[in-house]
Structure 1
Amino acid sequence: MKQKKELINWLGLLGIVSLLSYVVAVVFSPLAYPNYNWISQAVSDLSAANSPSKALWNQLSSLYAVCGMISVMMVCVAVQKKTNKLVRTGIYLFTAMNWVSCVGYGMFPLSDSGYAGTIQDIMHLYVVTVLVVLLSIVSLVIIIIGGFRKKSFVSLAVWATIALAFMFMGAMGVNIVPAQYFGIPERFSVFAATGFNAVLGVYLFFDKY
Protein backbone atom coordinates (compact mmCIF):
# COMPACT_ATOMS: atom_id res chain seq x y z
CA MET A 1 0.00 0.00 0.00
CA LYS A 2 1.39 3.37 -0.99
CA GLN A 3 1.94 5.84 1.82
CA LYS A 4 -0.19 8.96 1.52
CA LYS A 5 1.81 12.05 0.68
CA GLU A 6 1.94 14.72 3.35
CA LEU A 7 1.95 18.50 2.87
CA ILE A 8 5.73 18.63 3.10
CA ASN A 9 6.00 16.27 0.10
CA TRP A 10 3.69 18.43 -2.01
CA LEU A 11 5.68 21.53 -1.10
CA GLY A 12 8.65 19.93 -2.81
CA LEU A 13 6.92 20.61 -6.13
CA LEU A 14 7.49 24.32 -5.51
CA GLY A 15 11.07 23.68 -6.56
CA ILE A 16 9.78 22.96 -10.07
CA VAL A 17 7.53 26.05 -9.93
CA SER A 18 10.61 28.09 -8.99
CA LEU A 19 12.56 26.74 -11.95
CA LEU A 20 9.70 27.39 -14.37
CA SER A 21 9.27 30.95 -13.08
CA TYR A 22 12.98 31.59 -13.61
CA VAL A 23 12.94 30.11 -17.11
CA VAL A 24 9.94 32.23 -18.09
CA ALA A 25 11.63 35.37 -16.73
CA VAL A 26 14.88 34.66 -18.59
CA VAL A 27 13.08 33.89 -21.85
CA PHE A 28 10.45 36.65 -21.92
CA SER A 29 11.96 39.58 -20.00
CA PRO A 30 14.11 40.55 -23.02
CA LEU A 31 10.85 41.54 -24.75
CA ALA A 32 10.90 44.67 -22.57
CA TYR A 33 14.62 45.31 -23.13
CA PRO A 34 15.28 46.85 -26.56
CA ASN A 35 18.39 45.45 -28.25
CA TYR A 36 19.09 42.96 -25.47
CA ASN A 37 21.37 40.24 -26.81
CA TRP A 38 21.20 37.05 -24.74
CA ILE A 39 24.26 35.66 -26.51
CA SER A 40 26.52 38.41 -25.21
CA GLN A 41 24.72 39.76 -22.12
CA ALA A 42 24.29 38.31 -18.64
CA VAL A 43 20.95 37.31 -17.16
CA SER A 44 21.49 39.83 -14.33
CA ASP A 45 21.34 42.66 -16.89
CA LEU A 46 17.60 41.99 -17.14
CA SER A 47 17.06 42.87 -13.48
CA ALA A 48 19.58 45.72 -13.15
CA ALA A 49 18.31 48.75 -11.23
CA ASN A 50 17.86 50.88 -14.36
CA SER A 51 17.02 48.05 -16.75
CA PRO A 52 13.93 48.67 -18.92
CA SER A 53 12.94 45.05 -18.30
CA LYS A 54 13.19 45.19 -14.49
CA ALA A 55 9.43 45.54 -13.94
CA LEU A 56 8.64 42.62 -16.26
CA TRP A 57 11.44 40.57 -14.71
CA ASN A 58 10.00 41.13 -11.23
CA GLN A 59 6.56 40.03 -12.43
CA LEU A 60 7.68 36.91 -14.26
CA SER A 61 10.15 35.81 -11.59
CA SER A 62 7.82 36.52 -8.67
CA LEU A 63 7.50 32.80 -7.87
CA TYR A 64 11.17 32.03 -8.38
CA ALA A 65 12.67 33.07 -5.04
CA VAL A 66 9.76 32.39 -2.71
CA CYS A 67 8.93 28.94 -4.14
CA GLY A 68 12.58 27.97 -4.32
CA MET A 69 13.17 28.92 -0.69
CA ILE A 70 10.07 27.12 0.61
CA SER A 71 11.00 23.97 -1.29
CA VAL A 72 14.62 23.82 -0.17
CA MET A 73 13.71 24.66 3.44
CA MET A 74 11.23 21.79 3.46
CA VAL A 75 14.01 19.55 2.15
CA CYS A 76 16.11 20.62 5.15
CA VAL A 77 13.27 19.62 7.46
CA ALA A 78 12.84 16.27 5.69
CA VAL A 79 16.50 15.23 5.87
CA GLN A 80 16.85 15.74 9.61
CA LYS A 81 18.15 12.49 11.10
CA LYS A 82 17.89 10.94 7.63
CA THR A 83 20.42 10.31 4.83
CA ASN A 84 24.03 10.38 5.94
CA LYS A 85 25.81 13.30 7.57
CA LEU A 86 27.63 14.38 4.41
CA VAL A 87 24.47 14.56 2.29
CA ARG A 88 22.66 16.48 5.04
CA THR A 89 25.55 18.91 5.42
CA GLY A 90 25.69 19.44 1.66
CA ILE A 91 21.95 20.15 1.51
CA TYR A 92 22.21 22.61 4.42
CA LEU A 93 25.05 24.45 2.68
CA PHE A 94 23.12 24.48 -0.58
CA THR A 95 20.20 26.01 1.31
CA ALA A 96 22.54 28.63 2.78
CA MET A 97 23.61 29.44 -0.79
CA ASN A 98 19.97 29.98 -1.73
CA TRP A 99 19.53 32.38 1.18
CA VAL A 100 22.65 34.33 0.20
CA SER A 101 21.44 34.47 -3.42
CA CYS A 102 17.88 35.49 -2.54
CA VAL A 103 18.80 38.19 -0.02
CA GLY A 104 22.09 39.30 -1.56
CA TYR A 105 20.93 39.82 -5.12
CA GLY A 106 17.74 41.42 -3.84
CA MET A 107 19.73 43.96 -1.82
CA PHE A 108 22.43 44.52 -4.42
CA PRO A 109 21.12 44.29 -7.99
CA LEU A 110 23.44 45.63 -10.67
CA SER A 111 23.12 49.41 -10.89
CA ASP A 112 23.44 49.21 -14.66
CA SER A 113 23.72 46.56 -17.35
CA GLY A 114 27.22 45.12 -17.44
CA TYR A 115 29.39 46.62 -14.71
CA ALA A 116 29.21 50.28 -13.69
CA GLY A 117 31.73 50.04 -10.86
CA THR A 118 29.50 51.35 -8.07
CA ILE A 119 29.52 49.98 -4.52
CA GLN A 120 26.29 48.19 -5.39
CA ASP A 121 27.96 46.49 -8.36
CA ILE A 122 30.99 45.54 -6.28
CA MET A 123 28.74 43.91 -3.68
CA HIS A 124 26.78 42.13 -6.43
CA LEU A 125 29.77 40.69 -8.26
CA TYR A 126 32.56 40.37 -5.72
CA VAL A 127 30.71 39.58 -2.52
CA VAL A 128 27.32 38.00 -3.23
CA THR A 129 28.36 36.18 -6.41
CA VAL A 130 31.61 34.91 -4.87
CA LEU A 131 29.74 33.57 -1.83
CA VAL A 132 27.07 31.96 -4.04
CA VAL A 133 29.69 30.27 -6.22
CA LEU A 134 31.76 29.03 -3.28
CA LEU A 135 28.75 27.70 -1.37
CA SER A 136 27.39 26.06 -4.54
CA ILE A 137 30.64 24.25 -5.29
CA VAL A 138 31.31 23.15 -1.71
CA SER A 139 27.74 21.97 -1.13
CA LEU A 140 27.58 19.99 -4.38
CA VAL A 141 30.97 18.36 -3.79
CA ILE A 142 29.87 17.26 -0.31
CA ILE A 143 26.57 15.89 -1.65
CA ILE A 144 28.47 14.02 -4.38
CA ILE A 145 30.85 12.41 -1.87
CA GLY A 146 28.07 11.56 0.57
CA GLY A 147 25.73 10.35 -2.15
CA PHE A 148 28.16 7.92 -3.70
CA ARG A 149 28.90 6.47 -0.25
CA LYS A 150 25.29 5.33 0.16
CA LYS A 151 23.64 3.22 -2.52
CA SER A 152 20.21 4.81 -2.09
CA PHE A 153 21.61 8.28 -2.84
CA VAL A 154 23.75 7.53 -5.87
CA SER A 155 21.17 9.10 -8.19
CA LEU A 156 21.23 12.32 -6.15
CA ALA A 157 25.01 12.30 -6.37
CA VAL A 158 24.74 11.95 -10.14
CA TRP A 159 22.42 14.97 -10.34
CA ALA A 160 24.80 16.95 -8.13
CA THR A 161 27.67 15.96 -10.44
CA ILE A 162 25.73 17.19 -13.47
CA ALA A 163 24.94 20.50 -11.73
CA LEU A 164 28.57 20.94 -10.71
CA ALA A 165 29.75 20.17 -14.24
CA PHE A 166 27.41 22.84 -15.63
CA MET A 167 28.72 25.34 -13.09
CA PHE A 168 32.32 24.65 -14.05
CA MET A 169 31.51 24.82 -17.75
CA GLY A 170 29.86 28.16 -17.17
CA ALA A 171 32.67 29.54 -15.02
CA MET A 172 35.36 28.46 -17.44
CA GLY A 173 33.35 29.40 -20.50
CA VAL A 174 32.87 33.05 -19.55
CA ASN A 175 36.65 33.39 -19.28
CA ILE A 176 37.41 31.52 -22.50
CA VAL A 177 34.84 32.54 -25.08
CA PRO A 178 34.97 35.96 -26.77
CA ALA A 179 32.96 38.72 -25.05
CA GLN A 180 30.25 38.58 -27.72
CA TYR A 181 29.40 35.03 -26.58
CA PHE A 182 29.55 35.68 -22.81
CA GLY A 183 25.84 35.06 -22.29
CA ILE A 184 25.92 31.45 -23.48
CA PRO A 185 28.26 29.89 -20.88
CA GLU A 186 26.93 32.27 -18.21
CA ARG A 187 23.55 30.60 -18.50
CA PHE A 188 25.09 27.20 -17.78
CA SER A 189 25.98 28.49 -14.32
CA VAL A 190 22.76 30.30 -13.47
CA PHE A 191 20.50 27.39 -14.44
CA ALA A 192 22.62 24.76 -12.68
CA ALA A 193 21.72 25.85 -9.15
CA THR A 194 18.04 26.47 -9.91
CA GLY A 195 17.82 23.13 -11.68
CA PHE A 196 19.36 21.24 -8.78
CA ASN A 197 17.00 22.99 -6.39
CA ALA A 198 14.15 21.55 -8.45
CA VAL A 199 15.76 18.09 -8.26
CA LEU A 200 15.88 18.31 -4.45
CA GLY A 201 12.20 19.24 -4.48
CA VAL A 202 11.29 16.28 -6.69
CA TYR A 203 13.12 13.93 -4.31
CA LEU A 204 11.08 15.41 -1.47
CA PHE A 205 7.83 14.92 -3.39
CA PHE A 206 8.60 11.24 -3.94
CA ASP A 207 9.80 10.89 -0.33
CA LYS A 208 13.27 9.72 -1.34
CA TYR A 209 15.10 11.04 1.73
Structure 2
Amino acid sequence: MAGRSWRKPMALTRVLLACGIVGAVFFLAMDVVASFWLYPGYDYTAQQVSELSAIGAPSRDFWMTMGIPYAALSFAFALGVWRAGAGRRRITATAVLLALFAFNSLVWGWVAPMHMRGAAFSGTDAMHIVLTVVAVALMALFMIVGGSAFGRGFRLFSMLTLAAMLVAGGVVGTQIPAIAQGLPTPWMGLVERISVYAPSLWITVLAFMLLRETAPDWPAKSRTVNA
Protein backbone atom coordinates (compact mmCIF):
# COMPACT_ATOMS: atom_id res chain seq x y z
CA MET A 1 0.00 0.00 0.00
CA ALA A 2 2.83 2.40 0.86
CA GLY A 3 4.44 1.83 -2.53
CA ARG A 4 1.12 2.40 -4.28
CA SER A 5 0.44 5.62 -2.36
CA TRP A 6 3.92 6.90 -3.31
CA ARG A 7 3.52 6.05 -6.99
CA LYS A 8 0.30 8.01 -7.56
CA PRO A 9 1.53 11.47 -6.48
CA MET A 10 4.92 10.83 -8.08
CA ALA A 11 3.24 9.91 -11.37
CA LEU A 12 1.48 13.29 -11.42
CA THR A 13 4.69 15.05 -10.44
CA ARG A 14 6.54 13.38 -13.30
CA VAL A 15 3.86 14.43 -15.79
CA LEU A 16 4.19 18.02 -14.58
CA LEU A 17 7.98 17.86 -14.82
CA ALA A 18 7.74 16.55 -18.38
CA CYS A 19 5.84 19.74 -19.22
CA GLY A 20 9.15 21.58 -18.88
CA ILE A 21 10.64 19.55 -21.72
CA VAL A 22 7.49 19.80 -23.83
CA GLY A 23 7.38 23.55 -23.22
CA ALA A 24 10.95 24.04 -24.44
CA VAL A 25 10.20 22.13 -27.66
CA PHE A 26 6.88 23.97 -28.04
CA PHE A 27 8.62 27.36 -27.81
CA LEU A 28 11.19 26.32 -30.40
CA ALA A 29 8.34 25.28 -32.71
CA MET A 30 6.61 28.64 -32.16
CA ASP A 31 9.80 30.47 -33.09
CA VAL A 32 10.41 28.43 -36.24
CA VAL A 33 6.82 28.55 -37.51
CA ALA A 34 6.40 32.27 -36.87
CA SER A 35 9.82 33.16 -38.30
CA PHE A 36 9.79 31.10 -41.47
CA TRP A 37 6.11 30.80 -42.39
CA LEU A 38 4.09 33.64 -40.87
CA TYR A 39 6.29 36.73 -41.16
CA PRO A 40 7.29 37.43 -44.78
CA GLY A 41 10.66 39.13 -44.93
CA TYR A 42 11.59 38.30 -41.34
CA ASP A 43 15.33 37.67 -41.00
CA TYR A 44 15.93 34.90 -38.43
CA THR A 45 19.61 35.78 -38.16
CA ALA A 46 19.14 39.53 -37.68
CA GLN A 47 15.81 40.13 -35.91
CA GLN A 48 14.69 39.64 -32.32
CA VAL A 49 12.25 36.99 -31.16
CA SER A 50 10.18 39.82 -29.64
CA GLU A 51 9.62 41.23 -33.13
CA LEU A 52 7.44 38.22 -33.88
CA SER A 53 4.87 39.56 -31.40
CA ALA A 54 5.37 43.24 -32.20
CA ILE A 55 2.36 45.46 -32.83
CA GLY A 56 1.53 45.14 -36.52
CA ALA A 57 3.65 42.03 -37.09
CA PRO A 58 1.84 39.43 -39.26
CA SER A 59 2.88 36.72 -36.81
CA ARG A 60 1.52 38.51 -33.71
CA ASP A 61 -1.87 36.76 -33.55
CA PHE A 62 -0.25 33.34 -33.84
CA TRP A 63 2.39 34.18 -31.24
CA MET A 64 -0.06 35.54 -28.70
CA THR A 65 -2.43 32.58 -29.15
CA MET A 66 0.34 30.00 -28.83
CA GLY A 67 1.74 31.87 -25.85
CA ILE A 68 -1.23 30.72 -23.76
CA PRO A 69 -0.54 26.95 -23.95
CA TYR A 70 3.18 27.69 -23.60
CA ALA A 71 2.47 29.58 -20.37
CA ALA A 72 0.28 26.70 -19.18
CA LEU A 73 3.16 24.26 -19.76
CA SER A 74 5.51 26.60 -17.90
CA PHE A 75 3.17 26.89 -14.91
CA ALA A 76 2.70 23.12 -14.88
CA PHE A 77 6.46 22.61 -14.82
CA ALA A 78 6.84 25.06 -11.94
CA LEU A 79 4.22 23.08 -10.01
CA GLY A 80 6.09 19.87 -10.80
CA VAL A 81 9.32 21.35 -9.47
CA TRP A 82 7.48 22.43 -6.31
CA ARG A 83 6.09 18.94 -5.78
CA ALA A 84 9.43 17.29 -6.52
CA GLY A 85 11.09 19.62 -4.03
CA ALA A 86 9.06 18.11 -1.18
CA GLY A 87 9.87 20.96 1.16
CA ARG A 88 13.52 21.41 0.14
CA ARG A 89 13.96 25.16 0.27
CA ARG A 90 16.16 25.80 -2.76
CA ILE A 91 14.05 23.66 -5.06
CA THR A 92 10.76 25.14 -3.87
CA ALA A 93 12.27 28.63 -4.24
CA THR A 94 13.25 27.69 -7.79
CA ALA A 95 9.67 26.62 -8.44
CA VAL A 96 8.37 30.00 -7.28
CA LEU A 97 10.85 31.82 -9.52
CA LEU A 98 9.85 29.65 -12.48
CA ALA A 99 6.17 30.46 -11.86
CA LEU A 100 6.93 34.19 -11.70
CA PHE A 101 8.90 33.90 -14.93
CA ALA A 102 5.96 32.10 -16.58
CA PHE A 103 3.61 34.88 -15.47
CA ASN A 104 5.98 37.57 -16.75
CA SER A 105 6.22 35.77 -20.10
CA LEU A 106 2.43 35.50 -20.35
CA VAL A 107 1.70 39.19 -19.76
CA TRP A 108 4.74 40.49 -21.64
CA GLY A 109 3.22 40.58 -25.10
CA TRP A 110 -0.19 41.73 -23.87
CA VAL A 111 0.69 44.68 -21.64
CA ALA A 112 4.09 45.62 -23.09
CA PRO A 113 4.32 44.78 -26.80
CA MET A 114 7.08 46.43 -28.78
CA HIS A 115 6.42 48.18 -32.08
CA MET A 116 7.83 47.10 -35.40
CA ARG A 117 11.11 48.61 -36.50
CA GLY A 118 10.97 52.23 -37.53
CA ALA A 119 7.80 53.03 -35.57
CA ALA A 120 7.78 55.81 -32.99
CA PHE A 121 9.01 54.73 -29.55
CA SER A 122 6.08 54.60 -27.12
CA GLY A 123 5.19 53.72 -23.55
CA THR A 124 4.66 50.06 -24.41
CA ASP A 125 8.17 49.89 -25.86
CA ALA A 126 9.57 51.31 -22.62
CA MET A 127 7.52 48.83 -20.60
CA HIS A 128 8.78 46.04 -22.88
CA ILE A 129 12.34 46.91 -21.87
CA VAL A 130 11.34 46.96 -18.19
CA LEU A 131 9.75 43.50 -18.41
CA THR A 132 12.81 42.27 -20.30
CA VAL A 133 14.97 43.30 -17.34
CA VAL A 134 12.52 41.54 -14.99
CA ALA A 135 12.67 38.39 -17.11
CA VAL A 136 16.47 38.39 -17.12
CA ALA A 137 16.55 38.86 -13.34
CA LEU A 138 14.12 35.96 -12.81
CA MET A 139 16.06 33.69 -15.17
CA ALA A 140 19.33 34.52 -13.44
CA LEU A 141 17.79 33.85 -10.04
CA PHE A 142 16.23 30.50 -10.91
CA MET A 143 19.48 29.32 -12.47
CA ILE A 144 21.53 30.42 -9.46
CA VAL A 145 19.13 29.08 -6.84
CA GLY A 146 18.29 25.91 -8.76
CA GLY A 147 21.92 25.29 -9.62
CA SER A 148 22.90 25.49 -5.96
CA ALA A 149 20.43 22.72 -5.07
CA PHE A 150 22.43 20.03 -6.87
CA GLY A 151 25.99 18.85 -7.24
CA ARG A 152 29.08 20.48 -8.70
CA GLY A 153 28.36 19.42 -12.27
CA PHE A 154 24.94 21.07 -12.40
CA ARG A 155 26.23 24.16 -10.60
CA LEU A 156 28.95 24.56 -13.23
CA PHE A 157 26.42 24.00 -16.02
CA SER A 158 24.14 26.61 -14.45
CA MET A 159 26.91 29.20 -14.21
CA LEU A 160 28.03 28.64 -17.80
CA THR A 161 24.44 28.84 -19.04
CA LEU A 162 23.86 32.03 -17.08
CA ALA A 163 27.07 33.56 -18.44
CA ALA A 164 26.08 32.73 -22.02
CA MET A 165 22.65 34.28 -21.48
CA LEU A 166 24.02 37.49 -19.95
CA VAL A 167 26.78 37.98 -22.53
CA ALA A 168 24.40 37.42 -25.44
CA GLY A 169 21.78 39.66 -23.84
CA GLY A 170 24.37 42.38 -23.28
CA VAL A 171 25.37 42.29 -26.94
CA VAL A 172 21.73 42.57 -27.99
CA GLY A 173 21.26 45.50 -25.62
CA THR A 174 23.79 47.51 -27.61
CA GLN A 175 21.53 47.18 -30.66
CA ILE A 176 18.41 48.75 -29.12
CA PRO A 177 19.00 52.20 -30.73
CA ALA A 178 19.45 50.55 -34.14
CA ILE A 179 16.21 48.59 -33.70
CA ALA A 180 14.31 51.75 -32.73
CA GLN A 181 15.62 53.52 -35.84
CA GLY A 182 14.85 50.58 -38.12
CA LEU A 183 18.51 50.07 -38.99
CA PRO A 184 20.05 46.71 -39.92
CA THR A 185 21.25 44.53 -37.04
CA PRO A 186 23.21 41.71 -38.69
CA TRP A 187 23.54 38.50 -36.66
CA MET A 188 21.59 39.97 -33.75
CA GLY A 189 18.81 37.41 -34.17
CA LEU A 190 21.19 34.51 -33.68
CA VAL A 191 22.94 36.18 -30.75
CA GLU A 192 19.64 36.95 -29.04
CA ARG A 193 18.49 33.38 -29.47
CA ILE A 194 21.46 32.28 -27.38
CA SER A 195 20.04 34.36 -24.52
CA VAL A 196 16.54 32.98 -25.20
CA TYR A 197 17.39 29.30 -25.54
CA ALA A 198 20.03 29.09 -22.81
CA PRO A 199 17.33 29.19 -20.08
CA SER A 200 15.20 26.73 -22.07
CA LEU A 201 18.14 24.34 -22.16
CA TRP A 202 18.64 24.80 -18.41
CA ILE A 203 14.96 24.06 -17.74
CA THR A 204 15.17 20.93 -19.90
CA VAL A 205 18.19 19.64 -18.00
CA LEU A 206 16.54 20.41 -14.65
CA ALA A 207 13.43 18.54 -15.78
CA PHE A 208 15.46 15.46 -16.71
CA MET A 209 17.31 15.57 -13.39
CA LEU A 210 14.11 15.75 -11.37
CA LEU A 211 12.46 13.09 -13.53
CA ARG A 212 15.36 10.79 -12.74
CA GLU A 213 15.13 11.67 -9.07
CA THR A 214 11.39 10.94 -8.93
CA ALA A 215 11.66 7.61 -10.75
CA PRO A 216 10.23 4.74 -8.65
CA ASP A 217 13.54 2.85 -8.67
CA TRP A 218 15.67 5.89 -7.75
CA PRO A 219 17.18 5.28 -4.30
CA ALA A 220 15.92 7.69 -1.66
CA LYS A 221 19.43 8.28 -0.32
CA SER A 222 20.50 9.57 -3.74
CA ARG A 223 17.94 12.36 -3.73
CA THR A 224 19.09 15.94 -3.35
CA VAL A 225 20.07 16.82 0.19
CA ASN A 226 20.47 20.18 1.95
CA ALA A 227 18.43 21.79 -0.80
With normalisation by structure 1, the TM-score equals 0.80
The answer to whether 1:111 aligns with 2:109 is: no
Point out the structure with max Rg over C-alpha.
Answer: 2
Q: How many residues align?
A: 201
| Change over 3 Å in CA distance of 1:94–1:11 after alignment to 2 | closer
Aligned to 1:8: 13
Match of 2:31 among 26, 32, 35: 26
Deviation at 1:110, TM superposition (A): 1.7
Counterpart-to-counterpart distance in 2, 1:41 and 1:115: 15
Identity %: 25
| Change over 3 Å in CA distance of 1:138–1:22 after alignment to 2 | same
Ranges in structure 2 where 5+ consecutive residues have no aligned partner: 176-183, 215-222
| Change over 3 Å in CA distance of 1:114–1:90 after alignment to 2 | farther
Q: Aligned ranges for residues 31-50 of structure 1 at < 5 Å?
A: 31-50=37-56
1 or 2 for the larger relative contact order (CA 8 Å, sep ≥6)? 1
With normalisation by structure 2, the TM-score equals 0.75
Letter in 2 for 1:18: G
Deviation at 1:131, TM superposition (A): 0.9
| Change over 3 Å in CA distance of 1:62–1:134 after alignment to 2 | closer
Deviations 1:40-88 (A, max 9, x none): 1100101112111123334555532211111112212321423xx4454
Counterpart-to-counterpart distance in 1, 2:118 and 2:191: 16
Moved more, 33-42 or 132-141: 132-141
Name segments (4+ residues, structure 1) moved above 6 Å.
Answer: none
RMSD of Structure 2 on Structure 1 (CA) = 2.9
